[in-house]
Structure 1
Amino acid sequence: MSALLFGRNSSFIGLLSANTILGSAMPMLIILGGLAGLMLAPTTKLATLPASLQTLAGLFAAAPFSLLMGRLGRKTGFFVGGGLAIIGALIGTWALISASFILLCLAHLALGAALACFQYFRFAAAEVVRPEWQPVAISLMLTSGLVAAFVGPQVFVMAKDALAPIPLAGAYASIGILSLIGLVPLAFVTIPAIKLRPRGTTSRRFAALSVLKQRPVRTAVGIGAISQGIMVFLMIPTPLAMIGCGFSEAIAGDVIRWHVVAMFAPSFFTGFLIKRFGTKRIATTGLMLLIMAALIAAGGLSSANFYGSLILLGVGWNFGFIGATTMLANVVSEDEKPVAQGLNDTIIALVSTLCAFAAGAIVAGFGWQVLSFVAVAILVLTLCSVMFEKRQTVRQ
């Protein structure tokens, strides 16, 4: 019944197709950021600057994109995001042709903003289905990440030498082509406009901001931010930690590959679990799985520890992030969505950025196991906070 329902929903199919194609650029940019930076940076210390600026652009673009979609509609916002991806890809291609590091940094700023825009596909999916099917729609939308994880690197391998003798320029050009193709399915999408209450802009913004003081909203934002932050906190330094323990780059890469599969594969059934057990229960289960992942990581430095930890980390992120996204979609009203969702994704991006920088410093200074125990402490505090909020709500 559910497959038939979604198969007949042309808007959902259009959103899923667009998100899958546009999202394929993300794993390519993970590879390209460092390699192209190393080629063009005036010093090796600046090699990761394009990737860092990409993350920073996502942080600052999240809220403006949400407000833009609230005013002009989701569809217009996605077209703007796709346009930025095309512009960024063209600038990146020209940066390599002209050997300009500054242009490369500008390219990743535009591409980072585009990736922030594409994060709103999960909220759009919830708006084109009936309320009872929202968790399933959000969950299935994230399955596109699993496809992108395999398609993106393959496109990179096929396109990186397409503009030889200039290395990697073809990969940036392919991102532009993918982005252009990804905008086509949006033509078949109809997303209901956000119905704003008939009152002044200023009063509406203050009303939307005030909803963030409510416990359910605070809980949803907190779980989403911690789930994403801890995933980044443990994932980014994993290859460095494994190579430091004597493992080969191939084994480290295989651990990351299975981690990515574990992140997105559960999306095929997470939404149905939320329908059966409720959003908060699944989100809390996600936090518990993340705690288990961190404990396994702290328990030893064998390949089994790394594989087990990163696989559980992926599943825990999936439950926590999808649960939190569904929770937020359920507790905010139509006119509160632009500000609430924008602030939610800004906080998630901020926490992820801080965790990415902190992880490198902790691993370099104290080691992998200390990093894991720090993750355990953060997660336990978060879980206790969620339980406390739940008790307060029940008492009231």
Structure 2
Amino acid sequence: MSITTPVSREVLHRRTLTVVMASQVFSGAGLAAGITVGALLAEDMLDTTSLSGLPSALFTAGSAATALLVGRLSQRSGRRAGLTAGYAAGALGGAGVVLAATLDNILLLLLSLLVYGAGSATNLQARYAGADLVGPSRRGRAISSVLVGTTLGAVAGPNLVAPMGTLAEQWGVPALAGPFALATLAYGTAGVLIFAFLRPDPLLASRTLPPEDVTPGSVSADRGGRRFTGTVAAGAATMVLTQLVMVAVMTMTPVHMQAHGHDLHATGLVIAIHIGAMYLPSLVTGALTDRYGRVPMAVASGVTLLAAGLVSAAAPANAVPLLALALALLGLGWNLGLVSGTAMITDAAPPQTRAKTQGAVDLCVALAGAGGGIASGMVMAATSYAALSIAGGVLALAVIPFVVASAARSRGAVS
């Protein structure tokens, strides 16, 4: 199929969105199921709360390595190759967690959680595929379309925790390992869909099309897209800070709820609402990002995360509706940061170096998540869930001066 005309470019863009959104339904379920019980499984097997943030740290560390590898593989061979490989690794990691829990093997659990992180990284990398074939004026909406595809699976995943736990026990497997069996199937299905139907490859196709407009502060192509300046720096900072705060508070919420007598049904409901708020607002946040600009939406993300921290800290431990509201705000703040930050990165990176730049930025984002995950358990053990929530909200405000200053430097560089 020729991809040199505007009509065929639009057709290919729509086909890409359809395939990627379908795969995101499954990968969203795989991501959400493991997040819901990862900390609880570690607490049970390690017999300590202080290390209950370790699963989040491990699969976000695995996500960091995968983000870089998927970015480089996509740069060389296209999105289809990179996304397929990432989902396959995520499925392998989920199967390893199930086996580790069955054998009560701590070492295998830790290794498998690291590999399982590949699914999380790939789930996020898929958003870039949705934006490969559109210009800056529609880029936010394209990114959001992919995130919306994650919503159905992401909301369903936590609510399948209890049924999967019951099924796992019937198979002689610990209940908390059941959701990882679901993750294995979900990531595997997502990989099959990408491999079978993401043709022609959107990133490879974009290189044959006329150059798109590049915003001020873009990455210098002669440096291979490795300089984080101007727009790229602002986008990276937005996503790094919002990821760190979101992972830290989200990871400890199930532990906090279990400590106060809530069962897996209540925990699954709160996490489902949180993950729904991470993705469902994409129905409008992408359009808002295109209409009002990347920087205002990044500022809004910092303010929303502060509100999430304050509500979470003030909520009584037995008030599930208030905890759900706090986690919904946490998800919304993350969404605003992800959409605006992703649009900044994609605006700034030319197609010839785009995937490598995106992979490097997502590496930083995943490392921030790993740090937030492992620190969250230690902070909560030393202080309280309320203190952790407030600290996260205050830290999120650092997004504001950084993106405003970076935007000002970018404008100054071209004036």
Amino acid at match of 2:336: F
Which residue of 10, 31, 47 maps to 1:44?
Answer: 47
Indicate how the Cα distance of structure 1 residues 6 and 134 shifts in structure 2: closer, same or farther if over 3 A, else same: farther
Q: Which residue is equivalent to 2:142?
A: 137
> 1:344: Cα distance to partner?
1.0
Indicate how the Cα distance of structure 1 residues 120 and 231 shifts in structure 2: closer, same or farther if over 3 A, else same: same
Q: What is the rounded CA distance, in whole Å, between the counterparts of 1:152 and 1:57 in structure 2?
A: 21
Q: What is the rounded CA distance, in whole Å, between the counterparts of 1:154 and 1:79 in structure 2?
A: 26
**TM-score, normalised on structure 1?**
0.82
Please show how residues 317-336 of structure 1 align to structure 2 within 5 Å.
317-336=334-353
Q: Which residue is equivalent to 2:193?
A: 185
Indicate how the Cα distance of structure 1 residues 352 and 183 shifts in structure 2: closer, same or farther if over 3 A, else same: closer
Q: Is the 8 A contact 1:6 1:13 kept in 2?
A: no
- Are 2:153 and 1:148 equivalent residues in the alignment? yes
- Are 2:360 and 1:343 equivalent residues in the alignment? yes
SS in 1 for 2:171: coil
Q: Point out where structure 1 has 5 or more consecutive residues left out of the alignment.
A: 197-202
Q: Is the 8 A contact 2:33 2:161 kept in 1?
A: yes
Q: What is the rounded CA distance, in whole Å, between the counterparts of 2:377 and 2:40 in structure 1?
A: 19
Q: Which residue is equivalent to 2:3?
A: none
SS in 1 for 2:127: helix
Indicate how the Cα distance of structure 1 residues 107 and 205 shifts in structure 2: closer, same or farther if over 3 A, else same: farther
- Are 2:252 and 1:237 equivalent residues in the alignment? yes
> 1:384: Cα distance to partner?
2.1
Q: Is the 8 A contact 2:87 2:118 kept in 1?
A: no
- Are 2:34 and 1:29 equivalent residues in the alignment? yes
> 1:137: Cα distance to partner?
1.5
Q: Which runs of 4+ in 1 moved over 6 A?
A: 5-8
SS in 1 for 2:141: helix
Q: What is the rounded CA distance, in whole Å, between the counterparts of 2:295 and 2:96 in structure 1?
A: 43
Q: What is the rounded CA distance, in whole Å, between the counterparts of 2:188 and 2:146 in structure 1?
A: 20
Amino acid at match of 2:230: R
Cα deviation digits, residues 104-157 of structure 1 (max 9, x gap): 333323221232223210001111445532211211211233212233245555
Q: Which residue is equivalent to 2:305?
A: 290
Q: What is the rounded CA distance, in whole Å, between the counterparts of 2:402 and 2:57 in structure 1?
A: 31
Q: Higher relative contact order at CA 8 Å, sep ≥6: structure 1 or structure 2?
A: 2
Q: What is the rounded CA distance, in whole Å, between the counterparts of 1:382 and 1:321 in structure 2?
A: 12
Q: What is the rounded CA distance, in whole Å, between the counterparts of 2:360 and 2:159 in structure 1?
A: 34
Cα deviation digits, residues 235-269 of structure 1 (max 9, x gap): 2333445666x674566654433322222221111
Indicate how the Cα distance of structure 1 residues 308 and 184 shifts in structure 2: closer, same or farther if over 3 A, else same: closer
SS in 2 for 1:335: coil
- Compare 224-233 and 375-384 and name the one that shifted more: 375-384
Q: What is the rounded CA distance, in whole Å, between the counterparts of 1:363 and 1:144 in structure 2?
A: 33
Indicate how the Cα distance of structure 1 residues 294 and 178 shifts in structure 2: closer, same or farther if over 3 A, else same: closer
Q: What is the rounded CA distance, in whole Å, between the counterparts of 1:348 and 1:182 in structure 2?
A: 23
Q: Which residue is equivalent to 1:360?
A: 377
- Are 2:182 and 1:165 equivalent residues in the alignment? no
Q: What is the rounded CA distance, in whole Å, between the counterparts of 2:125 and 2:95 in structure 1?
A: 24
Indicate how the Cα distance of structure 1 residues 153 and 255 shifts in structure 2: closer, same or farther if over 3 A, else same: closer
**TM-score, normalised on structure 2?**
0.79
Amino acid at match of 1:182: A
Which residue of 67, 70, 75 maps to 1:70?
Answer: 75
Q: What is the rounded CA distance, in whole Å, between the counterparts of 1:305 and 1:387 in structure 2?
A: 32
Q: Which residue is equivalent to 1:60?
A: 65
Indicate how the Cα distance of structure 1 residues 269 and 154 shifts in structure 2: closer, same or farther if over 3 A, else same: same
Q: What is the rounded CA distance, in whole Å, between the counterparts of 1:38 and 1:361 in structure 2?
A: 13
Indicate how the Cα distance of structure 1 residues 132 and 348 shifts in structure 2: closer, same or farther if over 3 A, else same: same
Q: Which residue is equivalent to 1:11?
A: 16
Q: Is the 8 A contact 2:95 2:180 kept in 1?
A: yes
Which residue of 269, 272, 275 maps to 1:260?
Answer: 275
SS in 1 for 2:225: helix
Percent of pairs with identical residues: 24
Indicate how the Cα distance of structure 1 residues 353 and 85 shifts in structure 2: closer, same or farther if over 3 A, else same: closer
Q: What is the rounded CA distance, in whole Å, between the counterparts of 1:122 and 1:307 in structure 2?
A: 26
Amino acid at match of 1:151: A
Aligned residues: 381
Q: Point out where structure 2 has 5 or more consecutive residues left out of the alignment.
A: 1-9, 209-219
